């Protein structure tokens, strides 16, 4: 069959170019591709991950992938103000924040195979061209670049043994950088065969307050643009502030030939964790199972159990009678997406503690010893999150000093861990020049610096500790209590600077407890103050928020909320 010809078989007599991973069978894996129209930021990842969760609940093996249009090889260099937080996977890949949504919703660790950028795709194609893999053919967007995209999707399917691969195309239909992704998915649908690929259009229904009614024209035109690429949606999700009216859904249904049961109102909800339940009630999961011919693989008993468990969790959201207010003190507070995983970790912890958590955003840029008390006056606890650079660090140190001296529950994350060490060194160990070489390269007392092992590879650009690492827990500490007596845990890191080993003894003698460290090297990874000195003062060099899940909340956040409640 010409369609199955590999690159080695291609001649001038055929235009078919379908490189397949060894062992891959066309039509064996199902695909759900999600596109955005009208505007970006509507929640493609939330919709896709929620639908994927429902299929996973049915006993199906699912694997998501995010296709990004930018040329960066990963998300590591992106400014949080422009693109939200950088989400770090266990294997060290720095990705888009939507990968965090998938991990949390699916309770599933992902890898670099679940994330692709245009830069990665082009680099792979050019590397193959230089290696002579295309046998002298002129390398083109079609079929070679689109072929590389299809190869990525099929390799993921094979590697994860997925029943369904969920493909989220970043950005919006019409963005020039995403056009080749859309074309690749059109080709994929043709090659995999009927009933193998399902297309979802996520659109936006306008609701101008001046008109007092919902308007679907922008949604219709956005979907029309998708259809111009040869993609006919099988399912449409309509984003809107309020439930989309029957009239508007009918208009969209008629315009697109998509049956009414498959035109879904994805209106605003108090929490994204309420969406799977809403989709289930609308029968969306059943529609997908039917369209992809997956009924014989469904485990109805597992589906029923998962539905009950999730409903039990979701029913607690917003129903708590107790409340606490936690301050998040940072320099990216103007953009909430910069701390998306922290917000979600707090939501998980709030359900675990049966208490609503109100977040107060506190910009540390202009905080000083004189105004910090006023800034923290009405909070029940604070979080000093991660970050890079010197701006706002002085204010963070003042927040930590105030929390320590006033027994305000405190959780430090990454930079918040380092700033806690500096604050303790300055104000308790009486080392007034204590600082970090990141902030002050020539400081006299570098309690935070780059370790010798890292300095050796600094010139190679590899001095960032990224991804999952083991943390050895010291018995009898609060950390041991939080993690259920575990002697070793695995957490995710993203940092360059560490506690300098030459100051560890002095810090410990002054009362600081390093309750978590690297199993082999003198790298401190969790610190705390003894219970008798402070009700809850804990900090981690890693990012605990990255491993928090709805039904498995991260212990350090659960402990913070519990301490704030006691206060």
Per DSSP, the residues of 384-441 read E----SSTTHHHHHHHHHHHHHTT--EEEETHHHHHHHHHHHHHTS--TTEEETTT-T
The answer to whether 414 is a known catalytic residue is yes
From CA 124, how far away is CA 484, in angstroms rounded? 44
Residues 94/494, Cβ–Cβ less than 8 Å: yes
What lies within 8 Å, CB to CB, of 456 at 6+ separation is none
Residues 552/346, Cβ–Cβ less than 8 Å: no
Residue that the structure tokens 């001046």 belong to: 210
User: E strands of 164-277, at which residues?
Assistant: 164-169, 197-204, 235-240, 263-267
What lies within 8 Å, CB to CB, of 103 at 6+ separation is 87, 109, 110, 549
Provide the 10 A C-beta neighbour count for residue 30: 26
Residues 93/115, Cβ–Cβ less than 8 Å: yes
From CA 454, how far away is CA 26, in angstroms rounded? 46
The residue from 83, 348, 495, 543 that is catalytic is 543
537-540/410-413 β-pairing: parallel
Structure tokens at 467: 């991804």
Single out the residue of 447, 420, 438 nearest to residue 534, CA to CA. 420
The residue from 103, 414, 423, 498 that is catalytic is 414
Angle separating helix axes 284-291 and 44-57, nearest 10 degrees: 70
From CA 237, how far away is CA 256, in angstroms rounded? 12
Backbone angles phi, psi at 359, to 5 degrees: -100, 130
From CA 25, how far away is CA 193, in angstroms rounded? 11
Single out the residue of 152, 179, 190 nearest to residue 66, CA to CA. 152
Q: Specify which residues 33 forms β-bridges with.
A: 167, 199
DSSP letter for 73, please: S
Backbone angles phi, psi at 533, to 5 degrees: -95, -25
The residues that are catalytic are: 414, 543, 545
């Amino acid at each position: 069959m010409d369609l199955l010809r590999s690159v080695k078989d291609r001649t001038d007599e055929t235009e078919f170019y379908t490189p397949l991973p060894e062992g891959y069978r066309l039509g064996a894996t199902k695909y759900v591709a999600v596109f955005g129209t009208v505007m970006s930021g509507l929640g493609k990842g939330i919709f896709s991950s929620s639908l994927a969760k429902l299929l996973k609940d049915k006993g199906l093996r699912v694997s998501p992938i995010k296709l990004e249009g930018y040329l960066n090889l990963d998300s590591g260099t992106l400014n949080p103000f422009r693109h939200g937080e950088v989400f770090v996977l266990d294997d060290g890949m720095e990705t888009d924040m939507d990968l965090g949504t998938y991990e949390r919703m699916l309770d599933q660790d992902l890898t670099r195979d679940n994330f692709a950028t245009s830069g990665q795709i082009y680099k792979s194609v050019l590397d193959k061209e230089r290696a002579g893999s295309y046998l002298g053919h002129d390398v083109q967007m079609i079929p070679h670049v689109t072929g590389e995209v299809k190869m990525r999707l099929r390799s993921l399917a094979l590697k994860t043994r997925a029943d369904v691969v969920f493909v989220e195309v970043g950005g919006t239909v019409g963005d020039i950088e995403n056009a080749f992704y859309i074309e690749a998915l059109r080709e994929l649908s043709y090659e995999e065969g009927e009933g193998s690929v399902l297309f979802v259009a996520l659109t936006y229904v306008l609701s101008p307050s001046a008109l007092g009614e919902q308007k679907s024209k922008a949604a219709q035109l956005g979907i029309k643009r998708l259809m111009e690429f040869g993609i006919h949606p099988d399912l449409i999700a309509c984003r809107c502030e309020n439930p989309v009216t029957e009239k508007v859904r009918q208009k969209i249904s008629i315009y697109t030939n998509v049956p009414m049961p498959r035109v879904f109102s994805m209106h605003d909800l108090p929490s994204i964790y309420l969406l799977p339940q809403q989709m289930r009630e609308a029968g969306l999961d059943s529609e997908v199972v039917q369209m992809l011919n997956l009924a014989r693989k469904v485990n109805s008993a597992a589906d029923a159990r998962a539905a009950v468990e999730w409903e039990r969790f979701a029913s607690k959201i917003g129903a708590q009678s107790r409340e606490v207010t936690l301050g998040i003190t940072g320099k990216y507070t103007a953009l909430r997406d910069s701390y998306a995983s922290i917000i979600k970790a707090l939501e998980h912890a709030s359900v675990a503690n049966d208490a609503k958590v109100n977040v107060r955003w506190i910009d540390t840029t202009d905080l000083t010893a004189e105004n910090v008390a006023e800034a923290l006056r009405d909070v029940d606890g604070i979080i000093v999150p991660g970050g890079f650079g010197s701006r706002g660090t002085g204010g963070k140190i003042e927040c930590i000093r105030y929390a320590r001296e006033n027994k305000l529950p405190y959780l430090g994350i990454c930079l918040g861990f380092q700033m806690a060490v500096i604050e303790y060194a300055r104000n308790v160990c009486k080392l007034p020049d204590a600082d970090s070489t990141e902030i002050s390269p020539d400081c006299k007392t570098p309690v935070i610096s780059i370790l010798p092992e890292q300095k050796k590879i600094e010139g190679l650009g590899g001095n960032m500790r990224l991804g999952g690492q083991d943390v050895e827990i010291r018995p009898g500490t609060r950390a041991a209590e939080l993690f259920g007596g575990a002697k070793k845990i695995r957490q995710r890191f993203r940092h360059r600077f560490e506690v300098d080993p030459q100051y560890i003894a002095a810090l410990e003698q002054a009362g600081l407890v390093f309750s978590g460290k690297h199993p082999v090297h003198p790298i401190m990874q969790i610190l705390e103050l003894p219970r008798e000195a402070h009700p809850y003062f804990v900090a981690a060099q890693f990012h605990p928020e990255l491993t928090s899940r709805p039904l498995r909340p991260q212990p350090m956040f659960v402990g913070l909320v519990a301490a704030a409640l006691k206060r």
